[in-house]
Structure 1
Amino acid sequence: MEEFRLDQKLIDAWVSGALDADGEVTLAHQVARVLPFHWTLPNPVAAKLSRITEHLGGEQVLFDWLGQQPGQPQLVARLYRLIVLLDHLSATDAVLVALRELRERTPYPPGLGGYLIPDTNSETLAGLSWQIERLLAEDRVDEAVRLAGSTVEMLQQIAPRAAEIDPDLGSLRGQLEQIRKDIVAASAAG
């Protein structure tokens, strides 16, 4: 069974500003390890994670903080940027239309067989975000990175069509490219 651990002494010292750089790295590694379990954490650990998140000012700032740490925390932060984007795009009609059109030609784009659900609906991209998070939870980080890369590649293919349907998505392709570069860099450094 997975041991969920966020050291209370490290959290207290960090919140008070008394934690040294090595302690902050240790805390970031602990946060990165428990984050994929956020839905199933025991209440005491969930409360500690909430305290950290609230102290920073929210989930996005938590990802920023993790992204500044070396190794696994940085990679986890970069993968979560994609996970959050996938969850957001799941409810975007233009993206779903473009994805359906792509999947009519290529039902399972490269690297996504076994991960994509058969139907293309609001659960399709959310399912991929869940798969990436599940792989992180199972400590299958290399596989999570490969799945993230294949997912970004697929989204880059549909981004022009999605932007054609909804001009507000004009920056999606650039956003995806930045996420891809960030994941590649963090994976290479990790």
Structure 2
Amino acid sequence: MHRRPGASRPTRHRVGPDTFGLDEERVLRFADGTLDPAQEPRLAEEVAEVLPLGWSLSPRAKERLYTVTEHLGGELRLLEWLDRHPGLPRLTARLVVLTGILDRYSDDAGVVEALRSSRAEEPLPAGLEGVLPPETDEETLSDISYRIDELLFERHPQDAARLALATTDWLRSAARRAAPSSPGTGEMGDLMDHLHKDISEAGTAA
């Protein structure tokens, strides 16, 4: 849930964060255990709407998100809670996991080199036309991560899911092509297989 330093980029087309919000009364009732269970799915949807670019929210919105997160026991528990709610919350949780992994792999020289080698054989992987820059470098995966967050924040969850699936396809293909002696790329291939399945399942219900 935390962008690595420098991973976030400003955007000209983002919808202003103050047009999104968490209902204050709903948040407070959830935190003190008095929220009607029938209202919890709506709260999960509100959290899913603000979470992808939560760093850019207004201070009041950040405070409400923090209240929900702390009540649940931290960021991991927040994602697990979102995953229990089908539709946008579940899809968002699984995409947030992917974007965190993409940011982490941006710092893995072996992974970056595997992606360069993959693009030497397939310059424009399917579904990533217009997304990938001509050259692959340490910023490539974090740029994709940010774009997924941005699409979610702008309320285009199916577009975000399609980009995520194209990205997991590319990374697992790159892992298969990489030298077997590279432990980072081997792990990446396994993770991408798992995430591709999870995101596919969540996306069909969003």
User: Normalised by the size of structure 1, how large is the TM-score?
Assistant: 0.92
Shift of 1:76: 0.9
- 1:37 corresponding residue in structure 2: 53
- 1:142 corresponding residue in structure 2: 158
Amino acid at match of 1:171: E
Show CA shifts across 1:28-81 (max 9, x none).
Answer: 010011112312111100111122223323322221111111211111111111
Deviates more, 1:48-57 or 1:102-111: 48-57
1:156 pairs with 157, 163, 172, which one? 172
- 1:81 corresponding residue in structure 2: 97
2:41 pairs with 18, 21, 25, which one? 25
Matched, 1:50 2:50: no
Alignment of 1:1-190 (within 5 A): 2=16, 3-161=19-177, 164-190=180-206
Could you say if the C-alpha distance between residues 6 and 87 of structure 1 is closer, same or farther in structure 2, counting changes exceeding 3 Å? same
Question: Where in structure 1 are there 5+ consecutive unaligned residues?
Answer: none
- Distance, in Å, in 2 between the alignment partners of 1:112 and 1:130 is 14
3-state SS in 1 of match to 2:55: coil
* Number of aligned positions between the proteins: 190
> RMSD over aligned Cα, in angstroms?
1.7
Shift of 1:161: 4.9
Shift of 1:163: 6.9
Deviates more, 1:50-59 or 1:84-93: 50-59
Could you say if the C-alpha distance between residues 149 and 168 of structure 1 is closer, same or farther in structure 2, counting changes exceeding 3 Å? closer
Higher relative contact order (CA 8 A, sep 6+): 2
Show CA shifts across 1:85-117 (max 9, x none).
Answer: 111111111100100101112222111111112
Deviates more, 1:12-21 or 1:94-103: 12-21
Question: Where in structure 2 are there 5+ consecutive unaligned residues?
Answer: 1-14
User: Normalised by the size of structure 2, how large is the TM-score?
Assistant: 0.85
Show CA shifts across 1:157-182 (max 9, x none).
Answer: 12245573432553332221111111
